[in-house]
């Protein structure tokens, strides 16, 4: 037996240890946020084990939603939950209420389950002011007000990516320990990227700036080499790759979906939050994505997110289009 290797394995930065370390930086902290995150992590572990058993998509969507709603309510730290699966927001009964609102997509990309493509859970956390009864307005806030955001990807490994507003860290589930271990500390997205990610099947319906940008990716005029196209069609997997390798992920508005396809609260905001925390950018075609103020819980928005320089190019193309108009 290799005792040195075993000893090394016990000195691991688990996600629980990481969150408690972060908590200790705030002497006034009551530990509520740490408890809430622990419940989210537990929900992800459960969904990960069920996904790996290969249940049907329909059952998994519903099951994942139930798991997260129950985990979040039972934490005693939430007051409003918004799920992609539920038409209405869930208001937690006063006896189990806490200070946090959680917005989440329990199983994003679930139509890909049967073909073995990575899928995931996306979440964002807001805090409610103590001085009033919680209302929907507490959730309909711009993304820049989020305290934390993250996703858990169920793929070849189970990866949990989290930002609490001080950078981005990635954890991988060690099945032998049943613990998420810090494997990707302080993730920084490269300033430029060689990959673009978009559903080219929608090209005939795109607006000018999107079409110009993608044309430039394929046929650069400055002598640089063309970018590679990678599009999985599962937002968590596409964003995860963009975060690690750089490049850009686009889901623009088009003639068919004039407001874009992705939902603001639990897709656009959490992923934009992570991108900015990792040194990238997120843009809607009109403004910084995190400045958007949603008016409905399932509102949609176009989004362009990824490496800083790539998003700058998109912004310049939209600015030029506006000047022409």
pLDDT digit string, tens, across residues 23-57: 888 888 889 999 999 999 999 999 999 988 877 77
- Could you tell me if 139 and 213 lie in one domain? no
172-195 mean pLDDT: 97
CB atoms within 10 A of CB 32: 17
With 90 as the cut, is the pLDDT of residue 9 above it?
no
Among 138, 162, 184, give the residue marking a domain's end. Answer: 184
What DSSP character marks residue 256? S
Question: What single string gives the DSSP state of each residue in 41-84?
Answer: HHHHHHHHHHHHTT--HHHHHHHHHHHHHHHHHHTT-EEEEEET
Do 311 and 165 share a domain, yes or no? no
Residues 214 and 134 placed together within one structural domain of the fold: no
pLDDT at residue 152 is higher than 90: yes
Residue 259 in any domain: the answer is yes
Alpha carbon distance 236, 241 (integer Å): 9
Residue 316 CB partners (closer than 8 Å, separation 6+): none
Q: How much is the pTM? A: 0.95
| Domain presence at residue 166 | yes
For residues 211 and 73, membership in a common domain is answered with no
Residue 190 located in a structural domain: no
Q: Is residue 134 part of a domain?
A: yes
List the beta bridge partners of residue 42: none
pLDDT at 1 over 60: no
Q: How far apart are CA 166 and CA 169, in angstroms?
A: 9
Instruction: Say yes or no to pLDDT of 8 above 70.
Output: no
Sign of CA dihedral 229, 233, 237, 243: positive
- Which residue segment(s) compose the domain that 164 sits in? 10-184
Report the DSSP beta bridge partners of residue 229: 196
Among 161, 184, 207, give the residue marking a domain's end.
184
Does 200 lie in the same domain as 174?
A: no
CATH number of the domain at 75, please.
3.30.540.10
How does residue 115 score in pLDDT terms, banded at 50, 70 and 90? confident
The token pair that represents 84 in the structure block: 């992609």
Token pair in block for residue 18 = 């990481």
Chain-centroid distance, C-alpha 121: 8
213 plus 259 within the same structural domain: yes
The CATH number of the domain where 287 resides is what?
A: 3.40.190.80
Number of domains in the chain: 2
Assign 81 a pLDDT band (cuts: 50, 70, 90): very high
Same domain, 286 and 172: no
Q: Is the pLDDT confidence value at 129 over 90?
A: no
Could you tell me the pLDDT band of residue 317, with boundaries at 50, 70 and 90? very high
């Amino acid at each position: 037996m290799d005792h040195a290797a075993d000893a090394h394995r016990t000195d691991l930065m688990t996600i629980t240890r990481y969150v408690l370390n972060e908590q200790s930086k705030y002497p006034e902290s009551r530990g509520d946020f740490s408890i809430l995150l622990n419940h989210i992590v537990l929900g992800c572990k459960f969904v990960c084990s069920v996904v790996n058993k290969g249940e049907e998509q329909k059952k998994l969507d519903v099951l994942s939603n139930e798991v997260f709603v129950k985990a979040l309510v039972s934490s005693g730290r939430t007051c409003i939950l918004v799920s992609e699966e539920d038409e209405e927001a869930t208001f937690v009964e006063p006896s189990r209420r806490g200070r946090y609102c959680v917005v989440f997509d329990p199983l994003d990309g679930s139509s890909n389950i049967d073909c073995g493509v990575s899928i995931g859970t996306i979440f964002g956390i807001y805090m409610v002011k103590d001085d009033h009864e919680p209302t929907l307005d507490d959730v309909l806030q711009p993304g820049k007000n989020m305290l934390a955001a993250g996703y858990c990807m169920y793929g070849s490994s189970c990866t949990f990516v989290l930002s609490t507003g001080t950078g981005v860290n990635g954890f991988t589930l060690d099945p032998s320990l049943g613990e998420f271990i810090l494997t990707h500390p302080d993730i920084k997205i490269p300033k430029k990227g060689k990959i673009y990610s978009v559903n080219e099947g929608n090209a005939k319906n795109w607006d000018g700036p999107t079409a110009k940008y993608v044309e430039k990716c394929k046929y650069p005029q400055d002598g640089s080499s063309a970018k590679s196209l990678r599009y999985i069609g599962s937002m968590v997997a596409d964003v995860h790759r963009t975060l690690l390798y750089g490049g850009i992920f686009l889901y623009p508005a088009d003639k068919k979906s004039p407001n874009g396809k992705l939902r603001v609260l639990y897709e656009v905001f959490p992923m934009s939050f992570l991108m900015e925390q990792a040194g990238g950018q997120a843009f809607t075609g009109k403004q910084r994505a995190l400045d958007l103020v949603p008016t409905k819980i399932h509102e949609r928005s176009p989004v362009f997110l990824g490496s800083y320089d790539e998003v700058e190019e998109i912004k310049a193309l939209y600015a030029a289009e506006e000047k022409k108009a």
